[in-house]
């Protein structure tokens, strides 16, 4: 019989996330196609996923669901007949959405369809041709530099045809229908930190909520970037009114600092909760104001929705050298950093679940805490402890306007101390919920 592990849940979760990332890494994903389906099938082995297929041509806000792209093989053969670029060795070798091609081209023509990174000569770049029907290969600068004059055979065995856009949705029902939205993109091929880390973290977060009774309903979206969130918003506009808090999860496995990009509102409860948790965890982190560039927060925070959705990452997109290259691989992400990110997300959920407003039932003068056993028996010391300080702050600021998180921030106390004080005061009838 298997023994029950006593290790903290997150240590196991770090390994579980790495295993999931390893399993998903080889799959050639794009914004549509079988790579996304296979990815969602595997995620669906961990959590129940509702899979949606939205037909090509469907009008979604100002966009149209594109043709579906699938690829079986691709290569470039040099004049000697050797495969010098081979999709089967790395799926980044073909620009995503490349149209089918089977031709012989000169070196000059090949180079017009070839991307490389002169500053990182061993890395393969990640490129896409989503919204322009074209084809391209990507290779290391070393390979490109080695090419000699002559005729090259190029083959891309792909299809770009009417089909569907696929996305996955998992909902954990809470006591209320007010929602927390967690969104991650699942449209990148073999890239570990940018896309797979977010998928793995979202999966483990959702798995961790199983059998838990929560106040909020949690909605997890596994969607292709941009077109996926636009599609979801177009199909679910009525549901957006229920979204109270949201986070876009991406780039959560690298060794960099935690980075929080605030919602467009900038002062939403999610912004406050994330920053409180990052401060109380200690250590450095970075807080960025909203900008209309990045991941799907751009869509959730477009002015017609303006949802309270921020993005919590480690190193943000575009700010690490391996970003969108073959070096964003299994070595860049670790169980340790994934688990640390997961911890932060769980602490944020914890704060959101318990944050609320109260009204002091004895607001004229301080109620006498000593006779209720709430205050330490020994007086006269120079200062009071955090728990007694929390009692006084909660009583003073609980006028129905200040939330526990507001109080914790203003008093410089940990949310947990403030919440414990509120529980004790409520139990003695000194607070009532607003």
Q: In the complex, which residues of this chain contact Zn ion (CB under 5 A)? A: 194
List the structure tokens of 389: 């300080």
* Nearest-approach distance from CB 98 to Zn ion, in angstroms: 18
Best CA proximity match to 156, nearest among 54, 75, 250, 70: 75
* Nearest-approach distance from CB 185 to Zn ion, in angstroms: 7
Residue 426, classed as helix, strand or coil, is: helix
317 or 372: whose CB is closer to Zn ion? 317
Q: Which residue is nearest to Zn ion, using beta carbons? A: 194
Give, for 229, the enclosing helix (H) or strand (E): helix 227-235
179 or 194: whose CB is closer to Zn ion? 194
The span from the CA of 354 to the CA of 415, in Å, is: 9
194 or 296: whose CB is closer to Zn ion? 194
* Nearest-approach distance from CB 237 to Zn ion, in angstroms: 26
* Nearest-approach distance from CB 216 to Zn ion, in angstroms: 28
194 or 322: whose CB is closer to Zn ion? 194
* Nearest-approach distance from CB 198 to Zn ion, in angstroms: 10
Phi first, then psi: what are they for 430, rounded to 5°? -90, -10
Is residue 199 within 8 Å of 340, Cβ to Cβ? no
40 or 192: whose CB is closer to Zn ion? 192
* Nearest-approach distance from CB 334 to Zn ion, in angstroms: 20
* Nearest-approach distance from CB 186 to Zn ion, in angstroms: 11
The span from the CA of 281 to the CA of 275, in Å, is: 10
Neighbouring CB atoms inside 10 A of 91's CB total 24
The span from the CA of 349 to the CA of 180, in Å, is: 9
194 or 297: whose CB is closer to Zn ion? 194
DSSP assignment of 63-130: EE---EEEEEEEEEE-TTS-EEEETTT-GGGB-BTPPPEEEEEEHHHHHTTEE--TTSTTPPB--B-T
66 or 225: whose CB is closer to Zn ion? 225
The span from the CA of 373 to the CA of 53, in Å, is: 60
Q: Which residue has the tokens 């003068």?
A: 365
């Amino acid at each position: 019989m298997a023994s029950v592990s006593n290790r903290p849940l997150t240590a196991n979760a770090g390994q579980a996330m790495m295993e999931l990332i390893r399993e998903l890494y080889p799959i050639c994903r794009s914004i549509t196609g079988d790579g996304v389906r296979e990815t969602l099938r595997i995620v669906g082995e961990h959590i129940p996923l509702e899979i949606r297929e939205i037909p090509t041509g469907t009008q979604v806000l100002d966009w149209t669901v594109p043709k579906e792209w699938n690829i079986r093989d691709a290569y470039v053969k040099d004049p000697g007949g050797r495969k010098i670029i081979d999709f089967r060795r790395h799926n980044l070798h073909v620009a995503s959405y490349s149209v089918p091609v089977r031709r012989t081209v000169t070196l000059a023509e090949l180079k017009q369809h070839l991307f490389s990174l002169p500053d990182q000569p061993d890395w393969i770049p990640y490129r896409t041709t989503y919204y322009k029907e074209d084809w391209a290969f990507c290779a290391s600068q070393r390979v490109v530099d080695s090419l000699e004059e002559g005729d090259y055979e190029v083959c891309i065995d792909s299809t770009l045809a009417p089909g569907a856009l696929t996305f996955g949705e998992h909902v954990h029902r809470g006591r209320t229908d007010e929602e927390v939205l967690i969104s991650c993109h699942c449209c990148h091929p073999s890239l570990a930190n940018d896309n797979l880390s977010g998928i793995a973290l979202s999966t483990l977060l959702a798995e961790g909520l199983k059998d838990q009774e929560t106040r909020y309903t949690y909605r997890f979206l596994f969607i292709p970037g941009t077109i996926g969130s636009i599609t979801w918003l177009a199909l679910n506009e009525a549901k957006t009114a229920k979204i109270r808090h949201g986070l876009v999860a991406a780039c959560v496995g690298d060794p960099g600092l935690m980075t929080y990009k605030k919602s467009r509102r900038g002062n939403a409860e999610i912004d406050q909760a994330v920053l409180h948790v990052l401060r109380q965890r200690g250590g450095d982190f970075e807080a960025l104001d909203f900008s209309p560039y990045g991941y799907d927060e751009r869509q959730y925070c477009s002015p017609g929705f303006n949802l309270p959705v921020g993005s919590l990452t480690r190193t943000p997109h575009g700010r690490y050298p391996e970003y969108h290259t073959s070096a964003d691989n299994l070595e860049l992400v670790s169980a340790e950093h994934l688990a640390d990110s997961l911890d932060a997300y769980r602490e944020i959920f914890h704060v959101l679940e318990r944050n609320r407003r109260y009204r002091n039932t004895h607001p004229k003068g301080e109620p006498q805490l000593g006779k209720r056993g709430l205050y330490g028996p020994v007086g006269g010391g120079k200062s009071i402890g955090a728990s007694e300080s929390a009692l006084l702050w909660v009583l003073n600021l609980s006028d129905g306007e200040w939330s526990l998180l507001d109080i914790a921030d203003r008093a410089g106390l940990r949310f947990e101390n403030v919440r414990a004080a509120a529980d004790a005061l409520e139990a003695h009838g000194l607070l009532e919920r607003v």
